[in-house]
Structure 1
């Protein structure tokens, strides 16, 4: 533990967290009081639902502001007395110190915390918002100071040892004012970029809506446009085991994205699964749509070469090539109009689901095959243009996040 603190204090002085010359440098414990938290016994009703606000790392993680004035749960005065929780005065800093390390807020009213947080009470030598900005800039360092195997925890001793530059109060106020003003402008620019990103995505959805809702094409049941509509099965029911990267790719609803396959978390099964579940072995070009859970209606084309089967949450539709273009069907099912139809027909038992019978009997607008192909090409072109816009706006957002980090680092290197 001592070696960890020593190493990370060296990191603070030498590298990314180099300290400004000419400023007083103190240990956090020298300019702040650090108070631990605690949890009253949950089985004792007398300890809960009182008048004392009580915050946890989970609560801190849900905040959309740097300030916190209320908490989901409250404890009683006797609950405070019978636990290790302590009152944190208003205008202190509350920092999560495990699960995870680094959530942070300024409490505008007094409150207590659980053992996953520390209350950091600034002395008259330091302004709470200056302290807030310093700790936000130091999250990586705080994580490096954490120890533990199951999850890291930042001890009070390690936190108190962190070195902080402490300029005069007027200088702290100047730094805070610059950061406040700059971050307000960055946050506004980020909000604008996020709205532009949302608009770009909605533009494509609106384009699909206009194509598939406003038309006079003939309606046909999907079963009359396909040679196969089926779903897979669970290997647990078949006595089949999962294997490491050497069996059959087992595609689940998690792998079916909107217009694309999601392949980060691939699972594999013993090859005997395909002997049991022959009808759900995929062929290149199959249309896959999710029929169970929150992702119902998410549709993609299977475009892989590897041998693959599916689970019971994925519906396979194999288009008749002389009647239906598979990409046309995919875009249609991903359109807002047809997503609403799918969700309106969910059967909610233990978990929302759609039946194969529903898909077989679903009526969809179908123009001539040549027109389906032309429509699909126009959609692909429009999608390509909107993706370019999304990439631009997402990069702007990423750049603004990095700019904030850079400005914080400059502030505590004495470069503002």
Structure 2
């Protein structure tokens, strides 16, 4: 038995949103969650938002209140991000709400959209901010198994996602170890004596990144890591989702970043809540939303600088501003002015030794996380290829065929098979 294939427009209704006038602060003094791209993450559910509005704001704007239990999809910035709201939320114009019909479970559709998130991202069009149209969304092909099989798929993926959630909580704890160690040895940055610091710009060489033309496939079939914000989820970066070729290095403004450099995201919506900072574990390249910092003196080294910037992350976050199109930006001017505590050489060596042991522990944690994430991605692929529930399907064939017949009638479709 093969699944039906339908267009998304056949099984959902799509509703957009809007932004109440910023000139009226009263609009943003309510208790109604108002979702923007900065509220969407890799998590499955959305239960609250950073900003809230009132009923008057909804009445006098294009924003719409979306009842709990529907799918919220990013269609401008953050392409590929998708969640289900567990509370009623209003949405802005960069998001779309998908209201599922009776033939598909919202959680099933959510997992399927997550499985094609990279494809969704590639469909984006735009020079500065990439977006997709409602027409594009409506024309996506959706594999549609019977409802009972959808439920079975969701049950399996929910269990796998729960393991990811538990792993994420452990990761969050491990992320705080290095800054805590640094502060124990060198004190809280808020209490540093300014005479014992030097501006970052005097201690490092700074390097920008770039993006080879997506129109030239010869730039994108290589094995050179090309790091962007989506790769900055760990302390040490050895690889990336995207890769470029030697030709891209030769013909564009993209240059190598050497191992040991500190990578920091300086532009993007992720800066609304996080400052991604990592150590380059290998020679790689970066995109234009990032900077690479390399110590140019013996006063500090890469290990120390990495930990320093981690300890300064709250201060850095407070310096983030807003660039064009509403995206967040940390200006290079402020980056180079960051005060860096200059340790004694003895303290620096001691910190290196302790950090090395810590990195061994964190490396094991990272490997465990990566294995779990790979397993989840494999399950996603198998779920929507039909392989994951193949044996279960065979045991319930009669009921499934009846359900599929009801589906076809409900959709008024010819049984095109996936």
TM superposition score normalised by structure 2:
0.53
2:75–2:95 CA contact under 8 A, matched in 1:
yes
Match of 1:123 among 71, 76, 101: 101
> How far, CA to CA, are the matches of 1:130 and 1:52 in structure 2?
27
> How far, CA to CA, are the matches of 1:42 and 1:117 in structure 2?
18
**Paired residue total:** 274
Q: Does 1:24 align with 2:4?
A: yes
Cα deviation digits, residues 157-213 of structure 1 (max 9, x gap):
11111111111111111111111112212332454455456557767876x58xx9x
Match of 2:73 among 84, 95, 101: 95
1:194–1:393 CA contact under 8 A, matched in 2:
no
> How far, CA to CA, are the matches of 1:87 and 1:355 in structure 2?
45
Cα deviation digits, residues 313-353 of structure 1 (max 9, x gap):
xxx9999xxxxxx789x98xx89xxx99xx9xxxxxxx999
> How far, CA to CA, are the matches of 2:25 and 2:181 in structure 1?
52
Per-residue deviation at 1:59?
2.6
3-state SS, counterpart of residue 40 of structure 2: helix
Q: Does 1:167 align with 2:114?
A: no
CA RMSD of aligned residues (A): 4.7
Q: Does 1:68 align with 2:68?
A: no
The verdict on how the C-alpha distance between 1:415 and 1:377 changes in structure 2, with shifts beyond 3 A counting, is same
1:194–1:397 CA contact under 8 A, matched in 2:
no
2:8–2:139 CA contact under 8 A, matched in 1:
yes
Structure 1 or 2, whichever has the larger Rg, is: 1
> How far, CA to CA, are the matches of 2:296 and 2:123 in structure 1?
53
Partner of 1:35: 15
3-state SS, counterpart of residue 184 of structure 1: helix
The verdict on how the C-alpha distance between 1:354 and 1:57 changes in structure 2, with shifts beyond 3 A counting, is closer
2:200–2:338 CA contact under 8 A, matched in 1:
no
3-state SS, counterpart of residue 149 of structure 2: helix
Partner of 1:106: 84
> How far, CA to CA, are the matches of 2:207 and 2:113 in structure 1?
34
Unaligned runs of 5+ in 1: 1-20, 213-222, 224-228, 232-251, 267-315, 320-325, 344-350, 367-371
In the TM superposition, 1:78-93 aligns within 5 A as 79-93=57-71
Partner of 1:386: 358
Partner of 1:181: 159
The verdict on how the C-alpha distance between 1:376 and 1:408 changes in structure 2, with shifts beyond 3 A counting, is same
Partner of 1:401: 373
> How far, CA to CA, are the matches of 1:379 and 1:29 in structure 2?
58
